Amino acid sequence: MKDSCCEIDDNACCDSKVSEDTAICKECGSKWKPVNRITLKSLVKEPTLEAIGNPDGFYFCETPDCGVVYFNNEQQVYLHKDDVKARVGIKETENPVPVCYCFGWTQEKIFEQIKQSGFSTAVREIGAKVKAGECTCDIKNPSGRCCIGNVNKVVKRGKELYRVS
């Protein structure tokens, strides 16, 4: 594991630990990274959280069309969107699609900025707040990780969509 230190350029924030460990989601067959227990405890609905007991050893599945959000192959536990309190942006197809959970950025808000002005202030605004220590990605973002990488992808997609260079 390495320490992250709110470095926007490295897609890290919130002093969360990023593990190199991976596991394969048995539903989609893709390899994913672990999620911290604080993320599970913050975002999994209470009855489900109580039922699983131990929130350690879970992984976040980022495959957009996979029904699984969190999984633990050892415990044979597979949690889906309806087990989670927040909308899981990577798995959403209907608006609003959350991109930044700490500061309320959605795909639509970013696209609208680009459509109106040719650019988005999302990365700059989020970056300033992260540097000020205001992010809580580990408890608000279903992945438990910083959103900057996803925000950059949405900005790029918006610029392509609206043909902005």
Whichever domain contains 37, its CATH number is 2.20.25.270
Do residue 72 and residue 25 come from a single domain?
A: yes
Do residue 48 and residue 98 come from a single domain?
A: no
What confidence score (pLDDT) does residue 160 get? 97
Number of domains in the chain: 2
Do residue 101 and residue 153 come from a single domain?
A: yes
Residue 137 has φ and ψ, to the nearest 5°, of -55, -35
Which of 83, 106, 128 corresponds to the end of one domain?
83
Do residue 75 and residue 131 come from a single domain?
A: no
Contacts of 154 (CB under 8 A, 6+ apart): 99, 107, 110, 111, 122
* Residue 124 backbone zone (phi > 0: left; psi -120 to 50: alpha; other: beta): alpha
Whichever domain contains 132, its CATH number is 1.10.10.1100
User: Which residues constitute the domain of residue 43?
Assistant: 18-83
The tokens describing 20, both together, are 């190199």
Q: Return the residue matching tokens 């897609």.
A: 11
What confidence score (pLDDT) does residue 21 get? 87
Q: Quick check: is 117 in a domain?
A: yes
What confidence score (pLDDT) does residue 7 get? 42
Do residue 24 and residue 70 come from a single domain?
A: yes
Q: What is the DSSP string of the chain?
A: -EE--S-GGGT--TT-EE----EE-TTT--EE-B--HHHHHHHB-HHHHHHH---TT-EE---TT-SEEEEETTTTEEEEGGGBSS--GGG--SS--EEETTTTEEHHHHHHHHHHHSS--HHHHHHHHHHTT---HHHHSTTSS-SHHHHHHHHHHHHHHTT--
pLDDT in tens, the chain (165 residues): 333 333 444 444 554 444 578 999 999 999 999 999 999 999 999 999 999 999 999 999 999 999 999 999 999 999 999 999 999 999 999 999 999 999 999 999 999 999 999 999 999 999 999 999 999 999 999 999 999 999 999 999 999 999 987
What confidence score (pLDDT) does residue 10 get? 44
Distance CA 95, CA 17 (A): 31
Q: Quick check: is 112 in a domain?
A: yes
Do residue 74 and residue 97 come from a single domain?
A: no
Residue 50: CB atoms within 10 A of its CB come to 9
Do residue 25 and residue 76 come from a single domain?
A: yes
What confidence score (pLDDT) does residue 2 get? 31
Do residue 73 and residue 118 come from a single domain?
A: no
Asked if the peptide bond before residue 64 counts as cis, ω within 30 degrees of 0, the response is no
